[in-house]
Structure 1
Amino acid sequence: MTRKKGESKVKVFLDWCKGCGICAAFCPNKVLSVDKQGKVRVDREDDCINCGFCEIHCPDFAIMVYPKDERTPFEANIDDVAPATREELHRIRNSNST
């Protein structure tokens, strides 16, 4: 687990966030805040130490913290996954396009 500032990315899934503010309250470095629309905002990503408090305490699983040098599954290219999984993804995409 990364514990140095500036080595983590913070991803907030705004559609999942209900703006409870728990993540911002638990963040030891005040990386997160709740904006006027009631959604979490990443204010100071470079201060994140990847302690995991926001992820653990979010009741809606709306936050993901990971090392900057890694891509999330949401950023992965379809060609980066295993062949069996790639075939399944192509099948799903093709069935949804009809």
Structure 2
Amino acid sequence: MARIVIDAERCKGCLLCCAACPKEVIGPGKDINSKGYNPVIVVLPEACTGCALCAKMCPDVAIRVWR
């Protein structure tokens, strides 16, 4: 099973990763990071296939996918 790690301090909450994920594994978060952004969170970790489209789309390099 794949695992997604999101660096909440680097994430600006642009949601490009959410749009890229075919399984809707990532979603908007409610917390605010130290820069004033709402970083995304992993909402369905068991659905992740490890395709890493989310990491490829992230302009802030805030996502790592482990297979």
TM range (shorter): 0.7 to 0.9
Partners of 2:46 and 2:6 in 1: CA distance:
15
Superposed, 1:58-97 pairs within 5 Å as 58-67=58-67
Measured in 2, the distance between the counterparts of 1:32 and 1:22 equals 10
2:8 is aligned to 14
Unaligned runs of 5+ in 1: 1-6, 68-98
RMSD, aligned α-carbons: 0.9
Aligned length in residues: 61
**Length-normalised TM-score, structure 2:** 0.85
Stretches of 4+ moved more than 6 A in 1? none
**If the length of structure 1 is used for normalisation, what is the TM-score?**
0.60
Identity of aligned residues (%): 34
Higher mean C-alpha deviation, range 46-55 or range 35-44: 35-44
Q: Does 1:52 align with 2:61?
A: no
Match of 2:25 among 31, 41, 44: 31
Q: Which structure is higher in RCO with an 8 Å CA cutoff and minimum separation 6?
A: 2
For 2:9, give the aligned amino acid: D
Shift of 1:52: 1.2
Separation in 2 of the partners of 1:9 and 1:40? 15
Q: Find the aligned partners of 1:29 and 1:52 in 2 and give their Cα distance.
A: 11
Unpaired stretches in structure 2, ≥5 consecutive residues: 32-37
Q: Would you tell me which structure has more helix in proportion to its own residues?
A: 1
Cα deviation, residue 36, structure 1:
3.0
